[in-house]
Amino acid sequence: MQIKEALAYLRRLRGFREEPYLQAKCLLLNGYLRNSGLKAVVVGISGGIDSALTLAIAVRAAKLPDSPIEKITA
């Protein structure tokens, strides 16, 4: 619990809110796919945080209204 508490404290101290960043990434991804005429996302999963976060953003973006994403392959 100490790590979670420390992270929560630091986030409050810095005024960090992840929601605006995640929303912006989802909108950018959907916009890119829409402008490119693409309807699917392929994410290579390595077991690291980068690929896991990329997959999570793709899944979240697919749930937004008017998302062009019809299929996600990981």
Q: Average pLDDT of 22-47?
A: 98
Q: Average pLDDT of 30-52?
A: 97
For residue 13, list its beta bridge partners.
none
Domains in the chain, number:
1
DSSP class of 56: H
Q: Give the pTM.
A: 0.81
Instruction: Please indicate whether residue 1 or residue 62 has the higher confidence score (pLDDT).
Output: 62
Give the pLDDT confidence score for residue 17 in this predicted structure: 87
Domain extent for 43: 19-73
Q: Chain-centre distance of CA 5, in angstroms?
A: 24
Please check whether residue 1 lies inside any domain of the structure.
no
Please check whether residue 12 lies inside any domain of the structure.
no
For residue 41, list its beta bridge partners.
72
Q: Is the pLDDT of residue 59 over 80?
A: yes
Please check whether residue 61 lies inside any domain of the structure.
yes
